[in-house]
């Protein structure tokens, strides 16, 4: 993180956060562009070192925007999209469809048609029902579609249960254990309009180390070999953790990728199986720590012997993760580096008691209305999960570089809020 204090005030790449706030208004999401690029390069470098053939796709659900997608192309990243909306945004950004793959546990007919017409590299198939649908639509369009199957390996990642995906009781993937995965492979292989391409798994998100991934790799190779299935691509998903607070460990990318790629080599050797192309789908680890949110402080309410509520000019409309996952964040007062001597709760301005950014956090008692708060590590799953609840406006997003800042998403205006209303 290139965030440092100069004369007490927070700056990013030397640029004053107060100046940014005055220029773009709050709430404002600010990204350190160099850090996003650096995260992409760390994954590339680590995979290059393994000597394996690989592909990295950014999981666009973490933060979707035209300018980010352009940046991803510059950094030789592919894209993982999960809806017609994400795919549309990617196409509008000029992204090469041949480096996009299409996910989702319930792809609609409209989505399948659009993705086929767009020419995505492959579909990640998630159900037997979907095989039928894609096969039928591909036949109508006289196309052959590359099919990767999302398998459920039955491995539980140690993370919040809402972002776990690999356990047996999951809406994602087809189970290796109960035989549905192999049934799906056979159906795909028998189809005239599907090209059997590979296997995908994703065991969860915000995973701190490679243990679960490695366990899954051995399960998958064992299954492939026992069933005599050949694949071109093995996609191991995303889920690499970031640091929100001291309770977290940022995924050790270099070390973790080395361990994972060694495990792939070892599993392939043990099973006398050729090593396929390896695909990764990191989302949070690419953009999460690079992003931060600036808010203006408004009302400060002290309830004697109970709590101090510091309210800001955004809330769960742009920051839902605390309400949804009891997520924790670090928060800094931008203007001054005063001692953090006051326990308080930073609250949003929406009409819900659960609209909290952080409970029981220490901030300077000198904090006053008009000051600016900076919430760290809000680059992933904040803007992309934002809403217009309470008719709140979605914030602007800015990329900051060494000596420039550039607007990548404009703040919504009031007219956006009624744009679809029938007047």
User: Which residue ranges make up the site for ligand LLP (CB under 6 A)?
Assistant: 59, 62, 80, 103, 163, 202, 205-206, 237-240, 281-285, 321, 380-381
CA dihedral 380, 381, 385, 388 (to 10 degrees): -50
> Closest distance between ligand LLP and the C-beta of residue 62, in Å?
5
> Closest distance between ligand LLP and the C-beta of residue 377, in Å?
11
Q: Could you tell me if 275 and 294 are in contact, meaning their C-beta atoms sit under 8 angstroms apart?
A: no
Q: Which residue, 166 or 364, has its beta carbon nearer to ligand LLP?
A: 166
Residues 6+ apart with CB under 8 A from 56: 40, 43, 44, 47, 76, 77, 78, 279, 280, 281, 282
Q: Could you tell me if 311 and 299 are in contact, meaning their C-beta atoms sit under 8 angstroms apart?
A: yes
Q: Which residue, 24 or 251, has its beta carbon nearer to ligand LLP?
A: 251
Q: Output the six-digit token pair for 403.
A: 């000596």
Distance CA 340, CA 145 (A): 57
Q: Which residue, 279 or 334, has its beta carbon nearer to ligand LLP?
A: 279
> Closest distance between ligand LLP and the C-beta of residue 392, in Å?
19
Radius of gyration of the chain (CA): 23
Q: Could you tell me if 273 and 220 are in contact, meaning their C-beta atoms sit under 8 angstroms apart?
A: no
> Closest distance between ligand LLP and the C-beta of residue 381, in Å?
3
> Closest distance between ligand LLP and the C-beta of residue 208, in Å?
12
> Closest distance between ligand LLP and the C-beta of residue 48, in Å?
20
Q: Which residue, 276 or 283, has its beta carbon nearer to ligand LLP?
A: 283
CA angle 383, 318, 60 (to 5 degrees): 15
Q: Which residue, 20 or 280, has its beta carbon nearer to ligand LLP?
A: 280
Q: Please give the full DSSP string across 195-260, using - where no structure is assigned.
A: EEEEEE---BSSB-SSHHHHHHHHHHHHHHHHTT---SEEE----B---SSTT-----HHHHHHHH
Distance CA 106, CA 51 (A): 36
Check if 40 is active-site. Answer: no
Q: Which residue, 71 or 310, has its beta carbon nearer to ligand LLP?
A: 71
Q: Which residue, 16 or 211, has its beta carbon nearer to ligand LLP?
A: 211
Catalytic residue (one of 351, 414, 419, 422): 351
Q: Output the six-digit token pair for 366.
A: 């000198």
Reported as half-sphere exposure (CB side, CA atoms, 13 A), residue 224 has a value of 28
Give whole-number Cα distances, 210 to 203, 206, 236, 238, 242, in Å: 11, 11, 11, 11, 14
> Closest distance between ligand LLP and the C-beta of residue 325, in Å?
6
Distance CA 156, CA 316 (A): 29
Q: If DSSP codes are grouped into helix, strand and coil, which group holds residue 167?
A: coil
Q: Output the six-digit token pair for 239.
A: 């889920």
* Active-site annotation, residues: 351
């Amino acid at each position: 993180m290139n965030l440092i204090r100069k004369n007490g005030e927070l700056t990013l790449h030397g640029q004053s956060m107060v100046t940014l706030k005055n220029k773009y208004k709050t709430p404002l999401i600010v990204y350190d562009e160099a850090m996003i690029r650096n995260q992409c390069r760390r994954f590339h470098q680590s995979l290059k070192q393994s000597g394996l053939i690989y592909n990295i796709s950014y999981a666009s659900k973490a933060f979707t925007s035209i300018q980010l997608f352009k940046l991803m192309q510059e950094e030789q990243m592919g894209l993982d999209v999960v809806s017609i909306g994400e795919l549309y945004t990617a196409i509008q950004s000029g992204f090469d469809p041949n480096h996009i793959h299409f996910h989702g546990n319930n792809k609609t007919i409209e989505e399948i048609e659009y993705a086929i017409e767009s020419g995505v590299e492959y579909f990640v198939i998630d159900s037997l029902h979907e095989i039928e649908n894609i096969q039928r639509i591909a036949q109508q369009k006289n196309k052959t579609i590359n099919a990767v199957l999302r398998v459920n390996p039955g491995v539980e990642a140690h993370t919040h249960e809402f972002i776990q995906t690999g356990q047996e009781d999951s809406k994602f993937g087809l189970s290796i254990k109960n035989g549905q995965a192999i049934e799906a492979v056979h159906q795909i292989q028998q189809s005239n309009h599907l090209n059997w391409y590979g296997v995908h798994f994703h065991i969860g998100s915000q995973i701190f180390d490679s243990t679960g991934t490695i366990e899954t790799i051995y399960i998958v190779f064992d299954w492939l070999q026992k069933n005599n299935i050949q694949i071109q691509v093995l996609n191991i998903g995303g889920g690499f953790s970031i640091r929100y607070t001291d309770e977290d460990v940022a995924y050790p990318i270099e070390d973790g990728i080395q361990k994972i790629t060694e495990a792939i080599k070892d599993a392939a050797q043990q099973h006398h199986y050729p090593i396929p192309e390896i695909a990764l789908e990191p989302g949070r680890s690419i953009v999460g720590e690079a992003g931060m949110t600036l808010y203006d402080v408004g009302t400060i309410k002290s309830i004697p012997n109970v709590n101090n509520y510091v309210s800001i000019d955004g809330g769960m409309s742009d920051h839902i993760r605390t309400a949804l996952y009891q997520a924790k964040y670090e928060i800094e007062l931008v203007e001054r580096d005063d001692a953090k001597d006051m326990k308080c709760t930073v609250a949003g301005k929406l009409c819900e008691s659960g609209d909290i950014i952080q409970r029981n956090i220490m901030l300077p008692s000198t904090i006053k209305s008009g000051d600016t708060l900076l919430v760290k590590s809000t680059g992933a799953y904040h803007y992309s999960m934002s809403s217009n609840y309470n008719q709140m406006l979605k914030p602007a997003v800015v990329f900051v570089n060494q000596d420039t800042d550039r607007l990548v998403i404009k703040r919504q205006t009031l007219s956006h809020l009624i744009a679809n209303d029938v007047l």
